[in-house]
Structure 1
Amino acid sequence: MAQSLQDIQNVRADDLSDAQIEQLIKRAEASGMNEQQLIAVARERGLPMSEISKLQQRIATLRSGGISSGDSSSEGANRGRQVQGIVSDSLFNDFREKDPFYKLTPKQKKIFGYTLFYNKELNFNPSLNIPTPPSYTVGGGDQLLIDVYGASQQSYDLSVNPEGYILIPNIGPIQVGGSTIAAATARIKSALTQIYSGLAGADPNTFMELRLGNIRTVSVALVGELNQPGNYQLPSFASPFNALFVAGGPNEDGSFRHIQVYRDNKLLTEIDVYDFLVSGKNTSSITLKDSDVVIVPPVRNRVEIMGPVRREGLFEMEPGENLADLIAFAGGFRGDAYKERITITRNTATERKIEDVDAANFEVFVPQDGDVYRVGEILDRFTNRVQISGALMRPGTFSLEPGMTVTQLIEKADGLRGDAFLNRATLYRNQRDFSLEILPLDIEAIVNGEAEDVALQSEDVLNIASIYDIREEYFVKISGEVNRPGAFTFGENMTVEDLVLRSGGFKESATSSQIEIARRVKDDASGKLAEIIRIDIDKNLKINGENSDLELQPFDHVIVRRSPGFQREELVRVEGEVTYPGEYAIANANERISDLLARAGGLNQFAYIKGATLIRRNEFFEVPSEKEIETRNLVSVKNNILRDSLDHTEFDRIFLERIEREISEKGDDQAENDGNLISDDFRKQTIESIVERDSVEIEIKTLEMVGIDLMAILQNPGGSNDLILQEGDVLSIPKELQTVRMRGELLYPTTTRYRASAGFKNYISNAGGFTEKSRKAGSYVVYANGDVERTKKFLFFNVYPKIEPGAEIIVPRKPDQQPMSVQSWIGLASSLATLAILVDRVSR
């Protein structure tokens, strides 16, 4: 599990203890990772940002010496150890995959050139696929391939023996050991003229070519400050760089600039790796020979440079090199470096000291072993910055020119906007002690030359406010029977007609009179809350009467009332055994069940009158708003057009665009607050209170059955039994029912056929009888029309309800009773004893 990178997403920083966080930090530092790299790798592996933030806070708290909050429980400690294994192994394994130098210590990574010989992607093996170099020295073990072509053709494959000879058939031995390829070619050609006379002369007709086949290996000793010193067998083409790469390069204490190659007990050459690293020069063009010795001496003069340079690290300096050379080795300064001075920490014979070197002395200052050079950063401040913000054409940051004033800064910003507040602007200025000074300015007077212009200083910030920044944003509002109610931007000379037009015009339900304008009251201490203005406006948006020229003021609220004669259709449904079942629109506000039955053609011969019931919505039913109903209707219109029109006309296209716009606006507009919102909120609050009160999850029913006596309704239409219909009512008239259901605490709840002669107990017997937990006195019957009748008591006897077709018998369960505990019995006994004592004393 600790090796799984996928589990890192489940890490919780709170599960790690402080000791585990510290161990994680130490392990990261030992692997060359800093805190930023650790966090970056964790983010890449899918650790949530919330946990990364907590981890950073824990690390910061520990670094400051505090104690962070972690899970200290035994379970938390176990989980912490498991999580820490996931974090450490996952992060570090992933870091190893990305960093090829993860095994190096921090000091090794800082040594310039150290990673050159550790980089597995870099290969210094000598290339064998090159033409035979004429300067190559032939030795024992080399394979020489001789090709004779022209008038005569012959090939020879010869090996050089340890004595340096090759044996050519019919010619004899020829000494080639110690000779270069060029000298060996001349010597072999001269010997072959004994057989091939065409090789000699001014106009030869036979030619010869000498090339190397398998080259020999040479034994080279690599000693000194190397990672892997020893004797190595290398190809004879190998250079000192090849040998150093095989030996792992210089170690921490090895020199990169004085690598010596000895041959025959004499110094052959000295190699400087920096020439290759800095300028790409390969100063070691020699090839190694048998018994050569490569020595890496200890470093003589190493210094460190840190700060904003291109390459921080440890560098080796030779005598005669200066601080400018060190900066060149480090790749030069970065853009944010302070280049005028470098601070040096230098070791003396007894202690350390600090020196400062100015830029003018970089080329004459000589580094010493152990020096640490620190390059500073430029200050995070500006020498010539001024800023202007607010009601300008181009607010922003500008350079401060000598003698620059406020008016010149405004000109640089392309002047003032028309909404600029000119009476007062604010100039923010930093003092020498970094305190803030605020200077009020009369911009209008300065721009017009009536006041003295103000000279600017570096870091000044001029803010010119807009007139709209210092006042409440103006708007007007319209609500009621308009297509798009809401708040709209106020404009000068705006009228009610303009606002109605902006809101999409009147709905069909809007009244053309009694439109009210609620206007804010100002400076009135009489208690008046609003000024009400009433106007009459027709469908053509023409105001009639005395307020025809009325203009709106900011924050006016226009209220458009619903016409008293407008009614939206309300539907009811008749289901079951009637002549014409289906949906019916309520014709009158006092339409009753008998009226609906008459419109449905009356009952048919299969109707079971006693089973008729009325299904009605309750307060929990979510009634669709008018906006939702309109949207559904528009969607239906759109779908019908798309389905019916094979080749859409121009009218269809324009009409569809208009409907799409209406649907989009109605779907996105959430500002309208119609009457249903209050009932929705009430419904939700009621449901929440019921659930909270009962403390259990209950099913909230939105429809209820209303028990009706259809026989009485038909006999006396308009009477007390004939209910007035409401929207959504469903009148259900079933066929004659022939069954009775039994439910509840019965041995075998079932459904049986109705028998006119059978009573309540007969049906209970058909269900196997009561159980031990049956509450017989609480039994009740639900009739087909929705009426309910419960069991009654007469003296000590239960009087059970009458059973009719379609009825349902419900037998509830007795409540569970807890037996009295010993403490309860003792308490009861104590109370009885006390009562007996009181009675005895009273009787005396």
Structure 2
Amino acid sequence: YELFQEAFAEFQQNQREKDTALKRYGLTLFDREVSTFAPTDDATVPGDYRLGAGDHLTIDLFGTENNHYDLQVTRDGQINIPKLGPILVAGLTFEDAREFIRSRVAEELLGAQASISMGRLRAINIFLAGEVAVPGAYSVSALTTISQALFQVGGISDIGSLRNIQVKRHGKVAQIFDTYSLLLQGDSSNDIRLRSGDVVFVPPYSGTVTVTGAVKRPMIYEYIQGESIRDAITMAGELTPDAYPSGISVVSKALGKSLPEVKNIDLDLATSSSYPLQDGDLITVPISTDNLKNAVTIEGAVVRPGIYGWVEGQRISDLLNSVDGDLKIYADLGYGLIVRQKNQRLDIEVLQVDLAAAILNKGSLEDVLTRPRDKILVFGLAKVTDLSSVDSEKALDQIQISSEGGTLDLEEEELSDIEKEVASVQRDVLLAPIISKLQSQARAGEPVKTASISGAVKSPGIFPVTTNFTVKKLIAAAGGLEDRVYMESAELRSLFASPDNEILSRYTEIDLLAETDERAATKVQSRDHLHVRAVARWNPDESVVLSGEIRFPGTYRIQKGESLSNVLKRAGGLTEDAFPIGTVFTRESIAKMETQRAREFAQSIIRDFAASQLTKEDKDIDINEVNSVAEKLDEFTGSGRLLVDIEAAISGDQLADIRLEDGDNIIIPQRVSTVTVVGEIRRPGTHSYQKDLDLNDYIGLSAGMTARADNKELYIVRADGSVLRPESSWVRYTAEASLRPGDTIVVPIDSDYTNNIKLWREITQIVFNSTSGLAAIAAATR
């Protein structure tokens, strides 16, 4: 009961919010500024208007008499026409008075005729009382009706009745005016003209009902005694096309009871539709279901997805009769599903079809007969590669799609739309609600109708078990086999219950070659799992790139564990001009590691700086400089250079003859005979290599070091990317620092000239670990 009370309290709160948004119908009719008088002198006077004291008649005589008179009806009801005398007109209609005056003129003034019209109308005094905006006495035109009088006073208050407006004359109710008759039916017969002394009385409304849901005008409506649900729906503009008239609910607030009552109304039944209204009723008209009776739905990789009409004898080929015209270019023709409702509990069953066979062989077993409310699913290929001649106005030259992180070779602005379109028809997307339904409808004696597959298939996962489900059908559901598959053996695991009701597993070896024969096809049951083995070390696409001084440069496919020397041998070896010492060998995995280490070092710099500020160890480093260094490290991308000894690898040194990986890039430069000197040198430059010159000689050739040079930190970058730090005596560098062709001598700046030299040295070290040569040195010194 407490839960019900909470639910009902929430219902009441929602209803109050709805009532706040909804307004009472007709209440805004009289919304306007208050005015005590509206001129009506120019209004057309109807023929049944009755003359009274104060009205003016305009009489024009022509013929033997030519005169114009503006005559007022006196208090005794007469007008005085010269040569004719007084004529009693009060109480006559305007039409009768006009005919009477014409006849008198024709009888008494021979040869004269009269034209009679109304002049100024008399004013009458009325009183408006009750629930009006501004009650009180008003002076209005004699032509004023009930509705016009309400306009004059600014309309009706929020609690005033719109359907029981009373005109009291001489103490009795002379007329009841219902504004709904005027607004809903255009009937103004009860909107009578007022007379002097009339009282217009607006009582509070006696009851309202709220009509919401599938009606044309959901609002709050005032009702009168004797009206029914049918009348309320009519006031709300009738039902919308999607309304469900047999399920209308009415919440009534019954007097003397703690809780409202709910009643269901079928508007098509006379007994229900005549149900009387009560004050505060909430009438809700629900929307009819979207379920269709005779329809078939098509979804997935089709040109025209949607709902189609079903007829007796309809087959798949009647709905999809052309591969080119009805299916997308990336549709999987080997696998399609029909999802069918099998009982009144809305349980489903799934039929698997070969779409290509169904479309091309009309009337075959694969061309299944459809039933009402079937859903046909057409999946996209698990892997789509090298599709050309795409039928598209955007003239897409090539589509390359892979279910495992593939790409689309399209114009940038079209990339997202095509990717989304292909992703939306993949198996995991379209099958998710079906698998969920099959799992939820499983019950005792009726196990879940799903099986799974993994391994060397294009789209591993869970799939529906259909009629006569075999290993071949399960593989087709998974998009087919990959080229790395081991055809001679796969493993099928089946679950079964032991006599002790313990769930056990049974493993069966499957020959995939034999499964292509339908007569030897192995059945797959509920919860079975098929693992398709893959050939070990299957790497048909792994390759390396050889360039530079190679006899036959290019991209070479490699096998697992193939050595550097073997690939160089396949490429014809090195040319005579090759400079193997300067080989640039880059590897993607190393590049990623270098990039990651640069990111980590950037975070370390920030942490160390923050710690130094807290302990006041170093006050000379500016935070902007630290952030600049960290940003450059965050933007740094490693080159992945690996130091290799090509000559040793070719000569048979197993330690130097490294194993290659997919994506390795090997560049053999042309022979060089130069030595470069950079850094804090008076004349940086490149010099010809001479065997008898040492490190001191080359520094001398560059005019020596500058005053800011740090000769103790000098180092040499070899052509192969390695770094050598030579030892020095008091005046010269030792002979151990022998130079080779392609070497670069780097003279760094002394730490006394910069406060953050330690940071830059560490950055330089990172850069030299990933690159080599003059470009790397320039990047570090900048």
- The TM-score normalised by the length of structure 1 is 0.43
TM-score by structure 2 length?
0.46
Could you say which structure has the larger radius of gyration?
1
